[in-house]
Structures are given as C-alpha cells and as structure tokens.
A and B are shown apart, each in its own frame.
Chain A
C-alpha cells in the first residue's frame, strides 16, 4: 500500500532532524513529508537538508490547515494511507508503525494513538489530565463512542478519511472535531494505546483559564458539529 507519513512542524528546528531520522528508521518504506506551518526558524531548511519532501505554508495557519495540507497532497498523489506524527519529538515513530499497520490491514479508516488508553506511562500534570478527561467526556458523549485521548496528533488514516478531511477540517480544534466528523460520516475510528514522550521543550501554554476556555469552545464546536448535516459517503472510492 502506498503510504505517506507527514510531520506537521511549526518552529521545530531543534527536534525536526531527530523526528525525521526516527521516522526513517522505523518506517523505511513510506514517503516522508514535513509540513512546515509557516516556521520562522530553520525548520524547513533542516528538513530539506535531511532529504525529505517539505511543504512550506507561506504563513502560520494552525495545526488543522497543516494536517489538511498533508491530506490534500496524499490524495492528489495517490497515497492510500497516511500517518502523522508531531514535529516536536513527542511521538515515537515505532508507535506510529502499529497505527499504520491497522490502516493497511483495512480494520479501520482512522486510528488514533492514545496516551491514556491501556497501560501507558505517559506522565502529565493533574491539570492537563483533567482537561483531557473533560475533552474525552465531551467527544465520547457527542459520538457515542469511547475516546480516551482526543487531542492526540499521532494518527493514521486511509483515503476515505482523508477525502472527508480534505472537504472540511476544523482549523482550531482539528484533533477533537475530526473524531466527531469521522464517526458521523460512518467511518470506523479506533484508538490504540501508544507510548509518548513528554514534550522536549516546555512550550505548552495551557493555564487553568485557557483550558477552561478551550473546554467551553470545544463544547460549542461539538454542539455545532452535532447539528451539521451528515456526510455519509466521503467522495472517491465506494
């Protein structure tokens, strides 16, 4: 199966080379694409030097637009499956291998790597975990399917899911809203427990007030999502 793995990266010049090397080692058969989301540092240059394809957005567009760029490229170039890991080094490529394998076996349309399912030893602050639980609760009740890690950026998907996300993809709550979208479109979505590393650089800006605001926004986004017309069959293959 022709598979693409893309790495959205925004100002990750310190980690991008290691992420690429890790992906190369664990996923020797796939094509690698770095999606440089308008970085102002040397992320794109370093990725190019590492010899992978690099798509540079002319300005920072947010994680949703970056993911969607990957899906547009993958569909346009005939990839049947794609996987994605963040450019900050949080996601070991060895774990993505398992997600991609599920897609290649045809058992799911979208597979999400979860830090919290199963016996993951991922350590997060209590605040952060509380926020994650809240997101999970919201998404689970919106979709009627249980999710433990709704903000995970490690995922793999097939062309059906890609086609769905090319048509519409949330720019602000990409990970959360896309789960709802996929379930509502009748796609098979699975979660797989994965191990993740803590962020290499402390860039998370989640304060209590910000997370409360996020949760509120997510609630609104999911409610609106429930009201959207259902798209049953993503275009493309039957």
Chain B
C-alpha cells in the first residue's frame, strides 16, 4: 500500500526498442501531416495541434527523461502508465474540441441554408440550377 503514495523514482522505463519505434512513428506521423497540408486535405488551423503532438512524441522518444519527469509529476512508478494517461487526456480534449467545432459549423450551415432559403423566395426558378458542386479534392 505504501507504494501508492510513495511513488518517487519511476522504475518501469521505455526500452530502447520502443523508443526507436516511437521515434519512427512520430516522424512518419509528422510527414503524413505535412503531406495532408500540402495536398490541401487538412487546414493549417487543425494541423498545428497534430504537428505539435508529433513533435512531443519525438521528444519523448529522444529524451526519456521527459517521460520520467512526467511520471514523477503524476506520482506513478510506471512511465508507460504516465504516457497512456497523458495521451488519453489529450485525445479526450481533442475529441471534445472537435465536437465544439462540429456544433459551431452545424449552426453556421443552418444559418447559411436559411439565408439561401429566403433567397429562393425571390428567385423561384433557379433552385435546381444553383445546387453547388462541392470539390471533394
């Protein structure tokens, strides 16, 4: 029981093999983000947070001391648990953020639809021809 409260020095660390895999994945992830921006599939606005996440992953793989500091701050002895907790919280925050964005956009779409509907009162003949074609890239 005393171990729960007295967690000071992390005892479970990432193995070198894991660190290499993590670094490679982080680099691949960042390249993917760059490619998505380059091909216009991802707005810069949303890419920044993902890119930063890739950087953090890379930093964690390159400097294990960072993860150990994190584990110590959280009071856990296992670095992997600290890592999982941090990532889980981050993803939770991101998911919530996207729900907020989706809600805002739904409102904007509704208002646009309403304004376009009011415009159709004046130009009743043109509805079919003005259906916008959305470029799906």
Contacts and interface: CB of A to CB of B under 8 A. Distances in A.
Interface in A66-104: 68-69, 72-73, 76
B110 A65 contact: yes
A33 B118 CA distance: 10
Interface in B86-137: 110, 113-118, 120-121, 124, 127, 131
A59 B109 CA distance: 10
Interface secondary structure of A, over-half rule: mixed
Given A56-B127, A58-B113, A72 B120 contact: no
Contact of A69 (B118, B124, B127, B131): B118
B114 A69 contact: yes
B114 A72 contact: yes
Contact of A73 (B121, B124, B127, B131): B121
Interface secondary structure of B, over-half rule: helix
Contact of A56 (B110, B115, B117): B117
Contacts of B117: 35-36, 55-58, 69
Contacts of A33: 121
A55 to B, nearest CB: 4
Contacts of B127: 44, 56
A219 to B, nearest CB: 20
B116 A58 contact: yes
Interface string A92-133: 000000000000000000000000000000000000000000
Interface of A: 33, 35-36, 44, 48, 53-59, 61, 65, 68-69, 72-73, 76, 171
12 contacts: A48-B124, A54-B124, A55-B118, A55-B120, A55-B121, A57-B113, A57-B116, A57-B117, A58-B116, A61-B110, A72-B115, A73-B118
